[in-house]
Structures are given as C-alpha cells and as structure tokens.
Structure 1
Amino acid sequence: MWLCRHESERPPETGQPWHLVLEPAASRLERLALLVDAWLKEHWQGRPKYAGILIGGRSERMGRPKHLLERAGRSWLECTIDVVRRWVDRVTLLGMAELPASARSLPVLADVPDRQGPLAGILAAQRWCPEAAWVIVACDLPYLTGEAIRWLLGQRAPGRWVVLPRLGQAGPVEPLLAVYEPQARVLLERVEAPSLVVGDAKVAVVEPPQQLWRSWIDVDTPDEVPR
C-alpha cells in the first residue's frame, strides 16, 4: 500500500504490484480503515476452529465417569462429539480417561502439570495448537445442541479474545462451553481458573437466547441424569 503525498505522485517500482494506492483526499483515512478492517476479518475468519472436549474429571458426586454415561445406547462423549464436529475443523479430547471405541482415533491431550481443573485442559489445547480458536466443551452437557454451538461461534469478532456466555445478568459465566481465541492464552497463563479472565477488555461476556440455555446445563449427580 502506498499513500501519495500529492495527486501527481506515483508509487515506486518494486517489481510487484501495489495492493492499494491512495491519493490525498478527505476520504483516504476512511478507505484505509475499511481496508484494514477487511484484512482483519479475512485473517480472523481463516483461523482454524478446534473443539476441545474436557474429560477425565473425578466425577465424585456422580460416582462414575460422566463422559461414559449413556443415553439411548450411546455415551455422552459420543453424543457431544457428534454435536460439535460439524461446526469445527477438528475435535480433540482434553484429559486422560477411558474412551469408547468410536472416540479412540481422536487426538487426546494430557492436562498441563502446572494448573488444576478445567484450566489444565484448556491450556493443554492452547499450547498444543496455539494458532486455533478453541471451542471448549464440558463432557457433562446432555442437552447440548448444534444451534448453541452455532450461536456461540457467531459471537466471535476481531478483538474478542474470549467469548464467555452468561445465563442472565445475575448468573455466573460459563467457561466450559465458551470460545478461546489464540490471544486468550496470554490471559489464561496468568490465572488459576478460566472464569478469572472476566473484566479484561478483550473478554466478551454474552447472554445466549433463552431457548438455548439448556445447552449450558451440566449434570453432577445421578438424580440429575436425564432419563
């Protein structure tokens, strides 16, 4: 790109064509801003989208691994994989645990040793593929729908490093069905839990439509398991 100082000026010969030549005019800054905005969107939209499904939790209140619970003859993990895979470029499992046969071909990442809980899995994903936008999904969301994933991805925008849903203004943020862009790692490496990034200017807290709220409902005890 070349910014001309006067109307008769021409850019120097470089052997390659200039992408844009802007003559002095009142609208030049506006055109430049539009060009930069378009470039940012193109770069951001071309970023790979990966899903990381968190498994391997202790499931103490449930009494057994939640990702292996079954519904209609299929494990929750298999159901979750089926929901998310059409919206992303790759599905990865975060944590070490027993897997159903259909999931054993997927990449499995061990938790990073310097963090605890879900953050250990999220950072494992970001350190493994730092150039991807990660959709982090808990394994205990039996009401998860593709429409919720589609909506969540639709909240991404240039300048948003993290998209954290919140079910109503009084509810807590939901970091385990959320989006983490590559830049989010800068924030996550500084904290002990993913929800602690709230308050940073690069973190967007968004409220899903009420008809999608069930997708964020997790299950912790046998009494809560859908029949």
Structure 2
Amino acid sequence: MTINNAAPLKGLVLCGGQSTRMQENKSNIHYHGIPQWRYLADLLASFQLETYLSCRRDQQTDFDHYPRLIPDSVPYGGPSAGLLSASQLQPDTAWLVLACDLPLISRQSLEILLRERDTQLSATAFISPVNELPEPLIAIWEPAGLHALAENVAAGKNCPRKTLLNMNIRLLHNPYAAEQYNANTPEEKAEALKQVTDRSLHP
C-alpha cells in the first residue's frame, strides 16, 4: 500500500450505526429542517470537498439517491467499518470524517480542522471536552492513520480512538468545543434541538 501524506482530502459522513440508544435512525433526524446526513454532507461540500456517505449495505436506499455512497465492505462493525471501507475504496485519500450524531457542528469548527491539518502526521483531531481524549469521528484521517487502523482492527483492536492514542497526530483544542456534543439518546436529541432553536433565535 502506498502511503501518501500529501493526500487529496475528501469528506465522509458516517451513517452506518444501529442507533440502538436513540431508538430511531440518527442520520435521519431533522435538527436543521433536513435529515442530519444531508446537513453534514452539505456542510462538508461547502468546503469544496467531494463528500461521501458511509452506510451499511441494508441502508443503501435510505439516502434519497445520494450519488456517493460507500457501503460497508469489511467484516467489522462500528465506525471502523465506515472508515476502513472508505480507505479500501480510495487508499490514497485523506478523509475529513463526521459522525452523524453531531447536531451542533458547524463551519467554524471545521475551518479550524482544515486550517490546522498536518499532512505529515497520521491524523488531525480535536480533544474531547468530556474526557480530554482525541475525537476520532470529528477528525481528518490521513492514509497512514487509516493504514494503522486497519492493522489494529485486523488484530482485534476495533477502537478508532485507541488507534489515535498510539499514533503521532495533531491534537487541537476547539474554542467551539460545545459543537462536539454527541446526541445518542432521546434525551440528548431533545437537548440538541433546544440548543439549535436557541442558536437560531440568538445567533
């Protein structure tokens, strides 16, 4: 495999989770008047990034004929399946990755990631305000980082965050860390909707 640290960058929205705790498909929740997958895809595309959706094979008809789908193509579960399926399809590409459970993320956070991207390292990621660990699903993964993830997953280590912890990466404190809020339960969904409404009333 060729590792190219000056790789072209594309966008990837991870939509393949089971959404068990939310009790509905997180990628289809309307926080901003449109399905969350569409909101995130449009957000990434606004930076002129060719943007793809990662999904399970049984989801392929769920995304309104979106032209760039990457169905899971590896025998693993969780977000690693989406990351590695994208890497398998385009091994010399770097990916700006967003999980579909990020209702508050906006351009201002992504501008920081893009500005601070270090192509000589394996990834560029925010620090979580919850646990001070790297955020693997609001991050830019370089080909070298995805290669390391593939090796770890093949060895039974299926956690993207643990892969980041053991690589040379650029870690960033986000001044808009509230935008890293994850909504994984109905209660967290309600809180996110409240915050979105508050922002629209008090921009």
- The two structures share one fold, judged by TM-score above 0.5: yes
Change (3 A) 1:144 1:181: same
Contact 2:74–2:84, Cα closer than 8 Å, also in 1: no
Distance 1:133 1:88 in 2: 14
1:208 maps to which residue? 174
* Structure of greater relative contact order (alpha carbons < 8 Å, 6+ residues apart): 2
Unmatched segments (≥5 aa) in structure 1: 1-42
- Name the residue aligned to 2:53: 93
Q: Which has the larger displacement, 56-65 or 72-81?
A: 72-81
Specify the alignment match of 1:152 in structure 2: 113
In structure 2, how many angstroms separate the alpha carbons of the residues matched to 1:95 and 1:131? 21
Question: For 2:151, what is the secondary structure of its paired residue?
Answer: coil
Instruction: Indicate conservation of the 8 Å contact 1:48/1:89, yes or no.
Output: no
Report the TM-score when normalising by structure 1.
0.72
Kept in 1, the 8 Å contact 2:122–2:167? The answer is: no
1:49 paired residue number: 9
Structure-1 residue corresponding to 2:18: 58
Q: TM-score, normalised by structure 2?
A: 0.80
| Deviation of the 1:139 alpha carbon | 0.7
Deviations 1:142-181 (A, max 9, x none): 1010111111112212421111211349523210111111
Kindly tell me: are residues 72 and 189 of structure 1, through their superposed partners in 2, closer, same or farther at Cα, counting changes over 3 Å?
closer
Which is higher, the Rg of structure 1 or of structure 2?
A: 1
Residues in 2 aligned to 1:144 and 1:168: alpha-carbon distance in whole angstroms: 14
Match of 1:219 in 2: 183
Find the residue that maps to 2:148 and give its secondary structure: helix
Cα 1:153–1:63 shift into 2, 3 Å: same
Aligned to 1:175: 136
Read off the aligned partner of 1:137 and give its amino acid letter: L
Paired with 1:174 and 1:72, the residues of 2 have a C-alpha distance of 23
Q: Name the aligned partner's letter for residue 174 of structure 1.
A: E
CA contact (8 A) 2:113 2:139 kept: yes
Matched, 1:140 2:85: no
Q: Check whether the contact 1:67–1:140 (CA below 8 A) recurs between aligned residues.
A: yes
Q: Distance in 1 between matches of 2:85 and 2:25?
A: 20
Large movers: runs of 4+ above 4 Å: none
> Which whole-Å CA distance do the structure 2 matches of 1:158 and 1:55 have between them?
26
The number of residue pairs the alignment matches comes to 179
- Which has a greater percent of helix? 2
Give, in whole Å, the separation in 1 of the partners of 2:164 and 2:74.
Answer: 24
Distance in 2 (CA, whole Å) between partners of 1:57 and 1:168 is: 23
**Equivalent residue number for residue 3 of structure 1:** none
**TM-aligned CA deviation for residue 100 of structure 1:** 4.1
Alignment-mate amino acid for residue 179 of structure 2: S
Structure 2 unaligned regions, length at least 5: 153-157, 195-203
